[in-house]
Structure 1
Amino acid sequence: MLDRVLLIDLDDTLIPDVPAARAAIGDTLRHLGVPDGPEAVDAVFAATREVWRANPWRGSPETARLSSWEALWIDPQELELPRSAVDMIGQHGRSAWAAALTALTGTDRLATRAAAEFRTRRSDLLRPLPGVPAQLDRLRERHELWLTTDGCRPHQRRKLLASGLADRFAEVFVSGELGCAKADSAFAEAVRSRLDAAGRQVCLVIGDSASTDLRLAATGGWPALHLCDPDTCQVRAETVRHHPDLTGVDLYCRCAAR
């Protein structure tokens, strides 16, 4: 029996999130014949954040951990919310694109088309990062893999299934299901409770985010592998190691010699 666990993040650790969103926005702008450079993509992100901040349902338990750019392509029918909320969240894509295109071109006439195009292009980019499936298969020869992800309950579950990675994980913890952010102590307590019940110990917490993944590690008292550029990363902590990808587990895993 494998008694050592790796707690692994999902977005921008196993599958692309922000880079995929930026690529899909750029592709959508290009498809519409609108300038698609980095500044234009930034303008879409800015408009999306502004529109999402104004949505009265943004802070509901179902969507509290949903980013504005993820809300552009979520399936609102999966949310356990009143119909009025589902309809309003379903309009987020068009509203955000209307604001962005008005800022970029002076008109929102292509907003509905843009919203649909983005959803298609973003969904097409839902795949594991290069090398991830093979790396996970290798890691689970010595460890049990548990997923710890910050986000909206149905959206995170859907992305995990669509990525083809779900069967690698023995346990899945989604902040939207637990009712607390990944950085909150309650999230670490939920993980610890399951560890104790299963007779498991954490070997490493793995992820790209200092504010969520490394906070989870610190709160739980577990060592962490920060996926980053070690030469430029500003995080300095005795229990945190740095490496660009999952191959760093072999270098820093506490049970590598077992």
Structure 2
Amino acid sequence: MTLAYRSGVGVLLVDLDDTLIPDGAARDSAMMSTLATFGELPALSPTEIRVWPVVREEWRATGLRLVPGLLGVSSWEALWTDFDAALADPEARAAGRAYQSRVWRRLLHESDAAPAEAVFRQAREELVRPFGWVREGLADWASVHDLWCVTNGSSWLQRRKLDLAGLKPYFGEVVVSGEVGAEKSDAKFGAQVAERLARTGSEPVAVVGDSDASDGALASFLGVRHVRVHRGTQPRLNISLDS
């Protein structure tokens, strides 16, 4: 499917994670699968045990959260990021790889973390599937508006997700926090989106997403409505055709 870009048409700005594809649920499922593979399946879910605090602690300790290309990257996303593909700086790449190794050594009590890293990445990639409503819903929206994807994360990972989910063709543009050097809630991100809209002679009509903090902030900056998404459910836009 290829959607032609139409200059001057209203633009619907759409979030990615937990709006079009599962994030939190996929994260937990991939972790449980990996722990089970290595004989460490706990009785409780990863959210109820030590797993995610360990992941978060190790990620914060790296200092990589402040690297412009990784702004908006969560600790669990960093766990399956290919840092060699995502970053140019050799030291940052090495720090990212070391982070992943430390996490798996702590969780599995193994000296060699490489097998677990590979299993988790594969499990997580296999779970990058759009919610049931998404393909038809995006096609319907695209018949009226141009669609842009606006998302927090690294350029490599967010674009990888779009490819894995088969959603890239629906979007005329993709704006990623790691490319802008600011998260969606930041005025710098909003200004970048506004500049691109002005360059194409287009007007934003709404921001569609699950987060009040990021999607709501972007909508407020642009002066448009935030259409709140409840995970897995198609939102009602209620936007007139001449918006």
Count residues with an aligned counterpart. Answer: 236
SS in 2 for 1:69: helix
SS in 2 for 1:154: helix
What residue is the counterpart of 2:62 in the other structure?
A: 55
Structure 1: 5+ residue stretches without partners? 102-106, 230-243
Alignment of 1:246-257 (within 5 A): 246-249=234-237, 252-253=238-239, 255-256=240-241
1:21 aligned residue (16, 27, 35): 27
Structure with larger RCO (C-alpha < 8 A, sep 6+): 2
Going from structure 1 to structure 2, the CA distance change for 1:40 and 1:126 (only over 3 Å counts) comes to: closer
Structure 2: 5+ residue stretches without partners? 1-5
| Distance in 1 of aligned mates of 2:218 and 2:107 | 35
Normalising by the residue count of structure 1, what TM-score does the alignment of the two structures yield? 0.84
What residue is the counterpart of 2:213 in the other structure?
A: 211
Going from structure 1 to structure 2, the CA distance change for 1:17 and 1:186 (only over 3 Å counts) comes to: same
**Contact 1:62 1:81 (8 Å CA) reproduced:** no
Shift of 1:174: 0.7
- Identical positions, percent: 35
Alignment of 1:1-258 (within 5 A): 3-41=9-47, 42-101=49-108, 107-108=109-110, 111-228=113-230, 245-249=233-237, 252-253=238-239, 255-256=240-241
Write the deviation string for residues 95-135 of structure 1: whole angstroms up to 9, x where unpaired.
Answer: 1122233xxxxx33574432221111111111212221111
**Contact 1:150 1:176 (8 Å CA) reproduced:** yes
The letter of the residue matching 1:61 is: P
Write the deviation string for residues 3-44 of structure 1: whole angstroms up to 9, x where unpaired.
Answer: 221100011111111111111001111222223344445421
What residue is the counterpart of 1:104 in the other structure?
A: none
Normalising by the residue count of structure 2, what TM-score does the alignment of the two structures yield? 0.89
| Distance in 1 of aligned mates of 2:215 and 2:233 | 14
Write the deviation string for residues 131-178 of structure 1: whole angstroms up to 9, x where unpaired.
Answer: 211111111011110111111122111211221111111111111111
Structure 1 runs of 4+ with >6 Å offset:
none
| Distance in 1 of aligned mates of 2:181 and 2:113 | 33
Backbone CA RMSD of aligned residues: 2.1
